[in-house]
């Protein structure tokens, strides 16, 4: 895929994700913001509040993102302006996007010695 095509696909994916989050936000507006559970909510609590249609939309967006990853990674690896830390950040960003589309939180920590 040419770089312009990858950019177009990423733009479209971003627009579709924005629509998904708007619809999901409307659907979840009645869910209380504070956590009523002392041990925290189940990781799929918010996901379970979505309609099957919205869940399918999310899964389709994740699949689209994962189809674009092999197109983006070579450019990241071959760029002289990006460091190894930048490459790791791209990976973390992809994982964060996947988690967000599943209405989950993704966290990572740097290695501590």
Residue ranges of domains in the chain: 3-101
Task: Summarize the confidence of residues 66-73 as an average pLDDT.
Answer: 92
Q: Read off the DSSP letter of residue 68.
A: H
Distance CA 18, CA 103 (A): 13
Distance CA 91, CA 54 (A): 25
Judged against a pLDDT cut of 70, whether residue 9 lies above it is answered with yes
3-state secondary structure 10-42: HHHHHHHHHHHHHHHHHHCCCCCCCCCCCCCCC
Contacts of 84 (CB under 8 A, 6+ apart): none
Question: For residues 57 and 43, is the Cβ–Cβ distance under 8 A?
Answer: no
Q: Mean pLDDT over all residues of the chain?
A: 89
Here the tokens at position 78 are 């071959």
Distance CA 17, CA 20 (A): 5
pLDDT tens across 15-63, in order? 999 999 999 999 999 887 676 666 766 778 889 989 999 999 999 999 9
What pLDDT score does 14 carry? 96
């Amino acid at each position: 895929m040419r770089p312009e095509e990858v950019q177009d696909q990423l733009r479209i994916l971003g627009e579709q994700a924005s629509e998904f989050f708007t619809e999901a936000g409307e659907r979840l507006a009645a869910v209380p913001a504070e956590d009523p559970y002392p041990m925290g909510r189940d990781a799929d609590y918010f996901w379970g509040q979505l309609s099957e249609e919205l869940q399918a939309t999310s899964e389709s967006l994740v699949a689209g993102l994962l189809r674009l990853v092999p197109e983006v990674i070579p450019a990241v690896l071959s760029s002289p302006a990006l460091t190894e830390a930048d490459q790791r950040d791209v990976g973390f960003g992809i994982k964060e996007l996947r988690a967000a589309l599943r209405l989950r939180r993704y966290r990572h920590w740097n290695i501590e010695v």
